[in-house]
Amino acid sequence: MSETVILACPQCGAKNRLPTSKLNNKPKCGNCHKSLGVGEASELNNKSLSKFISNNEPLVVIDFWAARCQPCLMMAPNFYHAAKKLPTVRFAKIQTDRHEQAGAEFGIRSLPMLVALKNGHEMDRLSGLRTASDIMHWVKSLS
């Protein structure tokens, strides 16, 4: 019996059960047929954020950012790099100036802010501009 993992679709939020051996094949959502964003950092909205957090089995890391936040823009490539290097972790982003409810719900007062969650529960957060290796070290310490 092969090992499986449940991944939430960053677009529609549907749960997808996949064999871990298929993770490297750019898997698509069985519901909306869009990419499941493995090894990527998909952009979420208020609605997809809550499903992404509750429907993912692996560790979830959300980058709360805003277009007016210069350090956020500087950190974006570092976050994408970490996502690519750690494809078993579910990285995603939410733009808090477009989706204010999300920032308020999580009590985000400074940007950029990374929040790590597992099974819907917050485990830790990391604030400020970070390098890709900072992000990877932090994520690995949680998994």
Catalytic site positions? 69, 72
11 lies in the binding site for Zn ion (CB under 5 A): yes
Among the candidate windows 4-12, 50-58, 77-85, 124-132, which touches Zn ion by CB under 5 A? 4-12
Which residues does residue 126 pair with via DSSP β-bridges, in sequence order?
114
Largest CA distance in the chain: 49
How does DSSP classify residue 89? S
Q: Which two tokens stand for residue 123?
A: 């485990």
Q: How many residues bind Zn ion (CB under 5 A)?
A: 7
Q: One-letter amino acid identity for 139? A: V
The SS3 of residue 111 is coil
Among 7, 9, 49, 75, binds Zn ion (CB under 5 A): 9
Site for Zn ion in 12-51 (CB under 5 A): 12, 14, 29, 31-32
Supply angle C-alpha 41, 44, 48, rounded to 5.
125
CB of 11 to Zn ion, least distance (A): 5
Residues that bind Zn ion (CB under 5 A): 9, 11-12, 14, 29, 31-32
